[in-house]
Structure 1
Amino acid sequence: MQPEQLMLFEIAPDFRDHKKYRDGIFKTKAQLKEELRQLGRDRIYHVLSFGGGTQSAHLLEQHLQGLIHYDYIIFSDTGAEPQFIHEQVTWWQHRQRACGNTTPFLITHHSSMERGLEEMLMRYIHTDYQRFQMPVYCSTLDPVTGEIKAAGMMPRQCTVDFKIIPVKQAARRAVMELNGLEYRQQMPENIGFIIDIGFSYDEIRRINTSQSPQFKYMRLAYPLAEENLSTADSIRFLEDNGFPTRRSRCYLCPFNCDGARDIGMDWDEIIEAEPLSFLKACWFDTELRRVQRSGSKIMRSIPYLHYSRRPLVEVFAAEYARISAAYRVELAEWVSSWEAAIQEKWNQDELLIRA
């Protein structure tokens, strides 16, 4: 991009100038409604995929103010959110009631791994399960020279698998029940869905489709991007109204930052607010590399949760020493509980790696 183009972009961003919109990957809600109506799906249900953080809270507040209409508000529990995100979800439920708003507020989860990302990771570590759904930072080892080199990231599949798809399934289930139908029956041909996702304009790179791959009658909309609003705009809106502003993410999210790379999602917040969760993240970080070294996984890259591609226990050595001494018993109980749960649920058909 030329400097003059960049200057124009910074002054007046417009989603219509973005390649994803020009290529038809990102469409406006008006376009999506028209698509559904042309297919005969003129009974359209509007759903908010609520993440409990800032951007989706911005959309929720617009709904509570009567600026956007939703038929359902759905929060998908990934099983790895910090407690303060669950507290924010509760805060918004209280606010909804205080506003007299009666839109159904549903809480759902992954259809087969009900305990979410923790369950996926424990299943990956303790069984022959091969699918890895987190965007960890990777390094590779040259077998000849022994040199370790940075090698990008794994795909960010967790948002789709543990947030967006469960919301779609919950929305479908709710509407089928509303119409007196069983979940596995065919959706009536006149019903369609538009699901709003809180990706802002600065996250437009995360928009990959407006058509749900799972359900032909569902469309995905991104109203904040359509309004050319940034993450900072949503945070400012919440701050101006005295609303909570903590960013939604999992306690072990590789996009947590620190120092100069602070983007409002940082390891320091996890360390200070939820030390045991930080200790769990360190445990997962270490175990993923142990399993990778075993040669039992398809993944050949060396995985890290920290962007420096160093173990968390080294990056935060002093904090880890202090926290591990204080929470050693709790961590051991957590690990033991998960090992028993994975053995009971998944090991009928999957080989236990540790055995």
Structure 2
Amino acid sequence: MTTHNPAAPDPGPALRLLSLGAGVQSTTVLLLACEGEIPRFDAALFADTGWEPRAVYANLERLTAHAENHGIPVRRVSAGNIRTDALDPKHRFVSMPLHTLNPDGSRGLARRQCTSEYKIIPLKRAARELLGYPHPRRVPRGVYAEQAIGISTDEIGRARDSGLRFLHNVFPLLDLGFDRARCVDFLAERGFGNTVKSACVGCPFHGNAGWRWVRDHDPQGWAEAVEFDRAIRHGYPRASTQGHELRGRYFLHRSCIPLDHVDLDAPPKTTRHLRLLTSAPTPDDDSDPDGCSPWSCRSGQQVADAGTGERAA
């Protein structure tokens, strides 16, 4: 008769990591670890798309020095510069969720893979390396890293697992009951009150408020976004050089109007109540919807581990 052996107890994480975006919530999580309010991280990983606002990079530099003084190394991981890659006709296709204006006048949204390619995959690769099992070595069952994600209580619907056996997501701000407003106060009390939202300069998910911020606080970034918007009007250079048939025109702004022609200062025509009832932002919506934070993006869920096909059990 075969005796059933119960599963071995969970030995706990081999590593504790932080997915650091250098925005409000993840900066709060890192400072909490520095102060000993939550367990210390073995490393904080910043997935660099190469096109963050200069204020984010400045905050990252300051955070790096602060965290390393408390024994937490900050490491940048990257798959390249998303802006230059997208405009390079020799580079493989880069898929951003550009707004499309179809020949019949209807609007759509291009496929979104940039979060996976420029954030999730580099973070997974770094986690495997830190665990000691770089590709193509398979991570043994039961060996995993715990990865903290900066999701606050007002964003609880965005909290998701990694979909991988070797990477378990945890959410310290949810455990502590921190909403974004509390994070802002926490940062201000510690001299980090200038921390801004982390998102690519040219992210098509910006609302008017987000685009105004880029225009008013990052002039170089604004010029790059305007130039990029013009360059992708008829599709990515890679697609054009390969003779792919492209339908419609492509835009960064949800109104499908050239970015430098949009009246970003006009008050929104919809009320907050009406916006809550709609399934998608309206062209004149002033709100700045959730962007593409790693592990909270639906398109990034259940993405196979690069080169191995590993998924959660």
Q: 1:301 to 1:228 in 2, by over 3 A?
A: farther
Query: What are structure 2's unaligned runs of at least 5 residues?
Result: 1-6, 265-313
Q: Show the 5 A alignment for 1:310-349.
A: 310-315=257-262
Q: Show the counterpart of 1:108.
A: 77
Residue 107 of structure 2 corresponds to residue 150 of structure 1:
yes
Residue 98 of structure 2 corresponds to residue 136 of structure 1:
yes
Q: Show the counterpart of 1:242.
A: 191
1:268 pairs with one of 206, 209, 212? 212
Q: Show the 5 A alignment for 1:64-83.
A: 64-69=34-39, 70-83=41-54
Q: 1:129 to 1:43 in 2, by over 3 A?
A: closer
Give the C-alpha shift of residue 251 in structure 1.
1.2
Q: Show the counterpart of 1:289.
A: 233
Give the C-alpha shift of residue 197 in structure 1.
1.7
- Does the 8 A contact of 2:43 with 2:74 survive in 1? yes
Structure with higher helix content: 1
Residue 220 of structure 2 aligns to a residue in which SS? helix
Question: What is the CA RMSD across the aligned residues, in angstroms?
Answer: 3.1
Give the C-alpha shift of residue 218 in structure 1.
1.5
Residue 16 of structure 2 aligns to a residue in which SS? strand
Letter in 2 for 1:46: R
Residue 73 of structure 1 aligns to a residue in which SS? strand
2:62 pairs with one of 70, 74, 91? 91
Q: Show the 5 A alignment for 1:149-168.
A: 149-151=106-108, 153-154=109-110, 156-168=112-124
Identity of aligned residues (%): 26
Q: Show the counterpart of 1:257.
A: 207
Question: Structure 2 CA distance, aligned partners of 1:298 and 1:68?
Answer: 52
Residue 249 of structure 1 aligns to a residue in which SS? coil
Residue 74 of structure 1 aligns to a residue in which SS? strand
Q: Show the 5 A alignment for 1:131-210.
A: 131-132=94-95, 134-142=96-104, 148-151=105-108, 153-154=109-110, 156-176=112-132, 184-207=136-159, 209-210=160-161
2:30 pairs with one of 49, 53, 60? 60
Question: Structure 1 CA distance, aligned partners of 2:99 and 2:235?
Answer: 16
Question: Structure 1 CA distance, aligned partners of 2:174 and 2:112?
Answer: 20
Question: Structure 1 CA distance, aligned partners of 2:134 and 2:91?
Answer: 34
Q: Show the counterpart of 2:85.
A: 120
Question: Structure 2 CA distance, aligned partners of 1:39 and 1:130?
Answer: 44
TM-score by length of 1: 0.62
Give the C-alpha shift of residue 92 in structure 1.
0.9
Q: 1:158 to 1:128 in 2, by over 3 A?
A: closer
Question: Structure 1 CA distance, aligned partners of 2:42 and 2:177?
Answer: 24
Q: 1:162 to 1:128 in 2, by over 3 A?
A: closer
Which aligned runs of 4 or more in structure 1 are off by greater than 6 angstroms? Answer: none
Q: Show the 5 A alignment for 1:302-317.
A: 302-315=249-262
- Does the 8 A contact of 2:147 with 2:167 survive in 1? yes
How big is each residue's C-alpha offset from its partner over 1:92-148, in whole Å with a ceiling of 9 and x where there is no partner? 122224xx41122211112xxxx231243124xx2484451x232333222xxxxx1
Q: 1:234 to 1:157 in 2, by over 3 A?
A: farther
Residue 141 of structure 1 aligns to a residue in which SS? coil
Letter in 1 for 2:130: A
Question: Structure 2 CA distance, aligned partners of 1:281 and 1:160?
Answer: 21
Q: Show the 5 A alignment for 1:36-55.
A: 42-55=12-25
Q: 1:141 to 1:57 in 2, by over 3 A?
A: same
Query: What are structure 1's unaligned runs of at least 5 residues?
Result: 1-36, 143-147, 318-355
Give the C-alpha shift of residue 66 in structure 1.
0.6
- Does the 8 A contact of 2:141 with 2:165 survive in 1? no
Q: Show the 5 A alignment for 1:2-17.
A: none
- Does the 8 A contact of 2:67 with 2:74 survive in 1? no
Residue 37 of structure 2 aligns to a residue in which SS? coil
Q: 1:285 to 1:38 in 2, by over 3 A?
A: farther
Size of the alignment, in residue pairs? Answer: 254
Greater gyration radius:
1
How big is each residue's C-alpha offset from its partner over 1:76-106, in whole Å with a ceiling of 9 and x where there is no partner? 1111112221110011122224xx4112221
Give the C-alpha shift of residue 205 in structure 1.
4.1
Question: Structure 1 CA distance, aligned partners of 2:245 and 2:42?
Answer: 42
TM-score by length of 2: 0.70
Give the C-alpha shift of residue 211 in structure 1.
3.7
